[in-house]
Amino acid sequence: MFKKATPQDLSDAVRLLFFSAPDMLDYVFADRKTGNALAFLGYAFKNGKGLFGYKNQYILSTSQEETIALHYLSPPEKRIQHHSDTLSQIFHFYSFFTALKVAIRYFRVYSFQSSATYFSSIAFIPFTTNLEELKHLLYLFEHQVKASPLTLKTVVFSSTRKNSLEQLGYHLIKRKSTKLKNNYGKVPHTYVLEKHIFNFEIQH
């Protein structure tokens, strides 16, 4: 089952977002006041816009209504707007000087390049997620009949996530080592993966 997220999905959504990439998210969004990225993720999800807003997320759940993944999908023409909305959230959530630091870290981690591909991000918790079940849910989500081939691109920040996504049909196209770290988190590696699908249409 899949559906557009709503503000009522806050608890599950923030849990999935954070524990899918805690080190990276803490590196970008944690500060001395919050201690971790959870507070900002909750604020951004409830706001509705941007990379983490509920309006741009889909809930993937089992037949028992257990939420197992959160799927963000950005068409090329909306990518810059989603980044702009997220930066606006940063400057509304943090004090001005803290926001400047967070924004710089955000630019370092998140790509602003526009391309013809859709950007995909699947938030789930490695080791506790049934990947075969998630793969089936993704198949249902991605094949909503419109005859045009499509490339999805995603970026992850750990080998565990990379390995999981490869089991879900993604293919590694680039790996980059980084030295990004602070007192709250780190980004040792960046992996860019792609997935080619057909018969795709986002239901608005």
- 49: Cβ contacts below 8 Å, ≥ 6 apart: 55, 56, 82, 85, 86, 88, 89
pLDDT at 125 exceeding the cut of 50: yes
Q: Which of 135, 197, 137, 139 is nearest to 164 (CA)?
A: 135
* Sole residue written with tokens 């988190």: 185
DSSP state of 185: -
Could you give the domains of the chain?
2-197 (3.40.630.30)
pLDDT for 28 equals 97
Average pLDDT over residues 66-78: 83
pLDDT for 54 equals 95
pLDDT at 50 exceeding the cut of 70: yes
Q: Which pLDDT tens digit goes with each residue over 14-38?
A: 999 998 889 999 999 999 888 899 9
Residue 53's pLDDT band, with cuts at 50, 70 and 90, is very high
Continuous H helices in the chain: 10-20, 22-29, 38-47, 79-93, 96-109, 131-142, 159-167
pTM for the complete prediction? Answer: 0.86
Residue scoring higher pLDDT (126 or 50):
50
pLDDT at 181 exceeding the cut of 80: yes
pLDDT for 143 equals 67
